A and B are shown apart, each in its own frame.
Chain A
Amino acid sequence: MTPAETVRLVAMRDFTERVQSRAFQISTAFTLLLVLGAAIIPSLFRDDTAPPLEIGAVGEVSPLLATQVAVALDGDRSVEVVAFGSVTAAEAALDDGEIGLVVVAGAEVIVGDGPSATASIVGAVAAALDVADRAAELGLTAADVAALIGEGAYPIRSLEPETDEQQANRAFAFVGSILLFISIVTYGQWILIGVIEEKTNRVVEVVLGAVRPHLLLAGKVAGIGLLGLGQLLGTAAIGLTAITIAGTFTLPSATVSVVGNVVFWFVLGYAFYATAYAAAGALVSRQEEAQNVAFPLTIVLTAAYFIAAASIGGDNPVLRVTSLLPPFAPMTMPLRIAGGDASTVEIGVSILLMVGAVYVLIRIAGRVYSGGLLRTGGKVRIRDAWRSAEA
C-alpha cells in the first residue's frame, strides 16, 4: 500500500463522514440560502427604470429643456415636460406629487422640499437655454446656438487613475476574501474538532496501528479540505449563476480570474492553517481546551482578514507587506492581484514563500501531531510532543 493510497482512504473517510453529518448538511443549506438570497433578493427590489423626472413648465419654456436636462443628468433618467397654465396650477400638481419640480420661464425653479442637485441642474440648464433663445433672437443661426451651448459640461478627470472596473474587481475579490476567511476558519475548526474527537474517543491508537501519523494528518487535511473546496466552488458557482440569471449585478469582466485566484489561495491558505489546527488539536484532550490552543491561529487569521477588509479602498503599505508573508498572504494577496496592484515578481515571491511555509509547517506539525496524539490527560507542550515523536 502506497502512502498516497493511505492518504486517499483517510481522506475519503473524513470526507464521507462529514458529508453525511447533519451539521454539514444544515450549514451547507444555510450557506446556499444566504448566497442565493444575496444574489436574488436585490434584483426583486430593484427598479430597472429609474422614475422619469416630470417637470412642470409655466410660460415660454424652451422645447429643448427635456433633452438637455436628460443629458445633464447623465442619461440616467428620462425627462418629461408638462405645461401648466399658471404657477398656482403647477404648484398644486407639485404638491400632489404629480410632478417633481416646476420651471417658471425666465423666473425660477420651484421644488416641493429642500433644494436638490437635480433642481440646480434643471435651473442651470433652463438658464443656459434662455441664453441660447436670446442669442437666436439676436440673429444667430441654429448651428451658432448649438455651438454656443456646446457639450453643456466639462468632462471630469480624476487624480486617482482607478477605473470602475478595477474597483469592481477589488470589491469582488474582497467578497472572495470573506468567503475564504469563513471557509478557512470553518474547515480549520473541523480539523481541530476532528483531531480532538479521534483523540478523546481513542480511535486514534487503533488507526495509528496501521497508519503513520503524518499520513493520517495529510489524509485528514485533504479530506476535509476537499469538502471545503467543494463547498466554496459550489457556493461560488451557484451564487454567480443566480446573479447572472436574476441580473442583480453586472459581473466584472475579470470574474473568472478572480474566482480562480480565490480558489488558488484557498488551497494554499487552507493547507497552511488546517495543518496548524491539526497540530494544535493533537496537543489537547478535551473539546473545551480546543479554543485555547487554537487561539493564536485564529488571531493571526482574523488579523489577516481585517488587513484585507481595511484595504478595500486600494493598495497600501501594510497590504503590500502582508501580501508577501505566508500567514497573511491568502487573505491579502488575492485583493492586490484583483486590483492589478501586485507585480508578477511579488506574486511569485508570495506563492513561493507560502508553498515553502506549508512544507515546513507540515514537517513540524506532523511531528508535533504524532507526538501529541497518544498523550492524554492535560495539555501537552509543543516541545514535549516534538521530542516524543519519531523524527
Chain B
Amino acid sequence: MARLLVHGAEPARSLRWRCDAAGIACAAVLELSGLTKRYGDVVALDRCSFEVRRGQLLGLLGPNGAGKTTAMRSVFSLVRPDAGSVTWDGADIAPQTRLGFGYMPEQRGLYPRMRVHDQLRYFGRLHGMGATDAATAADRWLEDLGLADRRRDRLEELSHGNQQRVQLAAALVHDPELLVLDEPFSGLDPIGVTAMAEILAARAAAGSAVVFSSHQLDLVEDLCEEVVVIDRGRVALSGPVRELRARSPLRYLVVEIEGGDTGWVRGVPGATLLEARGDRIRLTVPRDTDLGAVVAAVDGTGRVRHFSFEPPNLSEVFLEAVDR
C-alpha cells in the first residue's frame, strides 16, 4: 500500500511524505531534521534533513567526507548532534525502538573467533529476539546465504566474501524495520554486488525502510527510485532519480558526424562542448533548447551516425550538485 502511494505521490522538492488527506495511515518514517554536527572546525553536518519511508530504498550519495556516515551514525545515537533531531514515526528514538533497526557500518567488523551461527544468534538476541527465534533466524540466513555447512566455523576461518555475507546477515537477522547500510557494496565482486542489491530490494519490498550510502552511482540509479545527495554536510539535492535528472537545467547531446565537423556547435545557443573524440562529440545545452534548431544546425554537415539528446544520468546530476 505504502509503495503504491509513493508512486502516486506528487513530486515534491523534499522527500517529505505527506499523509493522505483521506486519513490513510501515514507510512512510518525515519526523519532527520536540521541535524548539525561539528568536530572542532570541521562541519560534518549542517542542518541536514531527509527522511526514509517504509518500503523505500533510499540511496545516500555524496563525496567522501560529505557527512553520510555521521548522518547514519546519528540514527543509532552513535554521535550526539549539536542541533537537530532524528525521529522514527514522529517520536524520538527510544533504545527499545532502535532494537528494531539494523546497521551495517562502513568499517566492517564481527568477532573473529566466534562461530558463525553463535555470532548471528548473538546479534539476533541483542536485538531482542528470544533464544529459539534467534537460532532459527540464524539458521535461515546461513541457509539463504549458502553458508549452512559453515555454521560451526569460526568467522576468521571464512573467506573475505563469506565474512561479508555474515556481516550482512548480522544486520538482518532480526528482520529490521529500518535498515541502514554504510557503503554496503564496497569491496564486493560483481556477483556479490548483484546478491546484495537483490537482498536490499527484497527488504524494501517486504516493507522495511532501507537507506544506504554508495559511490557506485550507476548501481544506485538502477536500484533506487529516490536519492539524497549530501555535500559539505548539507542536502544538496533530493528526490526521485527520474525527476532529478529531468529537473537538471542541462541536457546532454551526443552527436557523431562523419568527418567530425564541429563548426555547427556555434550555431546552438548556450551549447558547451564537453569532449570530442574522433567523430563523436559530447556537449551540454540548456534544457529548453529547441531540438529542431539543433537538428537544423547539424543538417548538411555530413552523415550523422549517432544523435542523442538526454537528461544527465545520475553521475552527471551528482557532479552538478556537488559542483567540484
Contact = CB atoms under 8 A, between A and B. Distances in A.
A211 interface: yes
Nearest to B174: A210
A206 B114 contact: no
Contacts of A381: none
A210 B78 CA distance: 10
A201 B109 contact: yes
Interface residues of B, number: 32
A390 B77 contact: yes
B99 A210 contact: yes
Given A9-B126, A21-B113, A203-B110, A209 B76 contact: yes
B240 interface: no
A208 B76 contact: yes
B105 interface: yes
A56 B240 CA distance: 115
Contacts of B108: 202
A13 B76 contact: no
Contacts of A205: 78, 103, 105, 107, 109
A194 to B, nearest CB: 10
A231 interface: no
Contact of A17 (B99, B103, B114, B125): B114
Contacts of A70: none
A222 B23 CA distance: 50
Contacts of A206: 103-105, 109-110, 123, 167, 170-171
B267 interface: no
A137 B73 CA distance: 107
A43 interface: no
- In this complex, the member of B73, B79, B96, B125 whose beta carbon has the largest number of chain A beta carbons within 10 angstroms is B125
Interface string A1-17: 10000100110010001
B127 to A, nearest CB: 5
Contacts of B78: 205, 208-209, 374
Contacts of B107: 202, 205, 376
A209 B128 CA distance: 13
B44 to A, nearest CB: 12
Given A9-B125, A206-B105, A210-B99, A17 B80 contact: no
Contacts of B80: 388-390
A202 B106 CA distance: 9
B102 interface: yes
B66 to A, nearest CB: 18
A207 interface: yes
Given A1-B128, A374-B78, A390-B80, A210 B109 contact: no
A17 B111 contact: yes
B75 to A, nearest CB: 9
A212 interface: yes
Interface in B288-322: none
B109 A204 contact: yes
B123 to A, nearest CB: 7
Nearest to A389: B80
A360 B220 CA distance: 49
Given A208-B78, A209-B101, A389-B80, A1 B109 contact: no
A389 B73 CA distance: 13
B98 interface: yes
A105 B294 CA distance: 144
Interface in A170-201: 201
B109 A202 contact: yes
Contacts of B73: 374
A388 B38 CA distance: 10
Nearest to A211: B126
Nearest to B126: A210
- In this complex, the member of B105, B125, B126 whose beta carbon has the largest number of chain A beta carbons within 10 angstroms is B126
Nearest to B103: A209
B269 interface: no
A232 B122 CA distance: 28
Contacts of A212: 77, 95
A388 B77 CA distance: 11
A127 to B, nearest CB: 77
Contacts of B77: 212, 390
Nearest to A371: B80
B112 interface: yes
A13 B73 CA distance: 25
- In this complex, the member of A202, A209, A212 whose beta carbon has the largest number of chain B beta carbons within 10 angstroms is A209
A7 to B, nearest CB: 11
A232 to B, nearest CB: 24
A201 B99 CA distance: 22
B109 A203 contact: yes
Contacts of B171: 206, 209
Nearest to B110: A203
A6 B123 CA distance: 11
Interface string B72-99: 0100111110000000000000011011
Contacts of A21: 113
Contact of A203 (B99, B111, B128): B111
A260 B127 CA distance: 38
Contacts of B123: 206, 210
Interface string B164-176: 0001001100000
Given A1-B99, A9-B126, A202 B113 contact: no
Contacts of A210: 98-99, 101, 103, 123, 126-127
Given A17-B114, A388-B80, A390-B77, A207 B126 contact: yes
Contacts of A390: 77, 80
Given A374-B79, A389-B80, A390-B80, 11 more contacts: A13-B114, A201-B109, A201-B111, A205-B107, A205-B109, A206-B103, A206-B123, A206-B171, A208-B78, A388-B79, A388-B80
30 contacts: A1-B96, A6-B126, A13-B111, A13-B114, A13-B122, A17-B111, A202-B105, A202-B107, A202-B109, A205-B78, A205-B103, A205-B105, A206-B105, A206-B110, A206-B123, A206-B167, A206-B171, A207-B126, A209-B78, A209-B102, A209-B105, A210-B99, A210-B101, A210-B123, A210-B126, A210-B127, A211-B126, A374-B79, A388-B79, A389-B80
Interface of B: 73, 76-80, 95-96, 98-99, 101-105, 107-114, 122-123, 125-128, 167, 170-171
